[in-house]
Structure 1
């Protein structure tokens, strides 16, 4: 289990991380979100002992997390780095060997990992001849192929199309199923909401949200309705407690001041019987991010 206790880090007058604490058990995924400069990468570097905190501690299974535990780690940094003249096999074998895995074992695993992430190319192809997306997938494979117990992924979805992002999501979930503790950062709230067991949101180094993802969403109340009915925009806005209505094709996205207002919306929407859609939910993670961080700071 990873325990981060009261981490603090300043760079001159700038507070990068202030009193940050969280725990992460085996088989859990933590999504770390926040605007650029919020302190996500600084957090990762302090956890990995690449950057010393001003105060606080990081424990792995109750002991200080030091370089001695690094063979247990899979780390994908935000700054990608591959040796372009190496082949895929040479590159992955090299990184896995740095983590203590024998070349023969890595070579035996490589084909299945390339299939899992749908890498376009042969393992004898040089990195420089791959597309950027396939280079990124090779680096993800190099991060995971030694079966790490603790995984840090800094913006792993950056630059991936929806199909390849889904492959990466599945890969992350597979590692969780094997018992790995995983923490990753992303600006894609859809990815975070879909696969994260826990969520932590940073704003200028401060922790503004921290807890189970669904509990955080539920704490904002079921104040969003997606609706298809004969009601018009003006009729919806006339309902006391309806704060905003946005139309998207045949659907209305309705924002409520209180979840109880949904009963009145449902009553009026169904007064003539069947309607195609009525879905009342908490705000999406993207909406919560905008509320807590502010669109001007994204």
Structure 2
């Protein structure tokens, strides 16, 4: 296993009768952006809290750089919780300096890093403001700065893009790419699957505490059933539902997305569409991550 890899190895966790994680295993490699996605309650936050030591695992192990994660290693993790953990009455600069020093950084270096991230994240004009006086988007930027200010060796971010406007999303995306490019393993959860698909090298999908898919987006989508996009404005709703080997994925405004079984005949589909009137588009395509996610959540393992 490469060095500086974050490994989650057969981790399980139960809360009373609820199984939050069931032998979850995956890794986040050096320089990799790893998207961790699942429905609410699927186990994402529990897994991240176990990495941080906030919650203890019932079984399994978390390792970084080939060693079990200890308190010393956790001080090298940059963490952004879903429930924001800032001190509302502290000023932005003071807070970042304080948090950097909590991670063991000398005062001068902590101050220098805090100023660097304040500038990088567009907070220079708000550096002397109390956090509670900032917009939610700017609070989010401060929270990201807090995860980065101590030069972490690994980043664990829970819903970092939640509530951000498009410009702030671009800023945060660039920062995460830069961190990965410097060799830092980066894992983040998000419900914004188009963003995950665009940013991530690999994606793990968790369902009811179990990993049901884990690979690159290209590999995951290439393994999905073939799809057709058919634009037939005159076709009535449900026109393709009875065709053999065909599943209707979506219908909207005369455009129908179909999933074809391996032995399905696309020419029969075209003939059926033409029987309803003109066909303006008939195109094969790969499934999107959003469609793959819906399949995984509905049906379980897809690989």
TM (norm. structure 1) is 0.84
Q: Given the superposition, is the C-alpha separation of residues 266 and 139 from structure 1 closer, same or farther in structure 2, using an over 3 Å criterion?
A: same
Is 1:108 the counterpart of 2:112 in the alignment?
Answer: yes
Is 1:233 the counterpart of 2:235 in the alignment?
Answer: yes
For 2:123 and 2:282, locate their aligned partners in 1 and report how far apart those are by CA, in whole Å.
41
Q: Given the superposition, is the C-alpha separation of residues 179 and 262 from structure 1 closer, same or farther in structure 2, using an over 3 Å criterion?
A: farther
Q: Describe how 1:1-298 pairs up with structure 2 within 5 A.
A: 1-119=5-123, 121-225=125-229, 232-233=234-235, 237=239, 243-244=247-248, 246-248=251-253, 252-258=255-261, 280-294=284-298
State the Cα deviation string for residues 258-293 of structure 1 (Å, max 9, x = none).
4775577789999xxxx9876532221111222221
**8 Å contact 2:233–2:255 — kept in the other structure?**
no
How far the C-alpha of 1:254 sits from its partner, in A, is 2.1
For 1:241 and 1:13, locate their aligned partners in 2 and report how far apart those are by CA, in whole Å.
40
For 2:127 and 2:265, locate their aligned partners in 1 and report how far apart those are by CA, in whole Å.
58
State the secondary structure of the residue aligned to 2:155.
strand
State the secondary structure of the residue aligned to 1:52.
coil
State the secondary structure of the residue aligned to 1:81.
coil
For 1:134 and 1:267, locate their aligned partners in 2 and report how far apart those are by CA, in whole Å.
54
State the Cα deviation string for residues 111-134 of structure 1 (Å, max 9, x = none).
443343333733112212211111
Q: Given the superposition, is the C-alpha separation of residues 278 and 175 from structure 1 closer, same or farther in structure 2, using an over 3 Å criterion?
A: farther
For 2:145 and 2:219, locate their aligned partners in 1 and report how far apart those are by CA, in whole Å.
32
**8 Å contact 1:262–1:280 — kept in the other structure?**
no
Q: Given the superposition, is the C-alpha separation of residues 140 and 263 from structure 1 closer, same or farther in structure 2, using an over 3 Å criterion?
A: farther
State the secondary structure of the residue aligned to 1:80.
coil
State the secondary structure of the residue aligned to 2:126.
coil
Alignment: residue pair count: 287
For 2:282 and 2:107, locate their aligned partners in 1 and report how far apart those are by CA, in whole Å.
56
> After the TM superposition, which of the residue ranges 233-242 and 89-98 deviates more from structure 2?
233-242
State the superposition RMSD in angstroms.
Answer: 2.9
Unaligned runs of 5+ in 1: none
How far the C-alpha of 1:21 sits from its partner, in A, is 0.8
State the Cα deviation string for residues 193-244 of structure 1 (Å, max 9, x = none).
111111111111122112222211111033143x66x764359946875543
State the Cα deviation string for residues 144-185 of structure 1 (Å, max 9, x = none).
122211110011111112222222111111110111101111
**8 Å contact 2:91–2:128 — kept in the other structure?**
yes
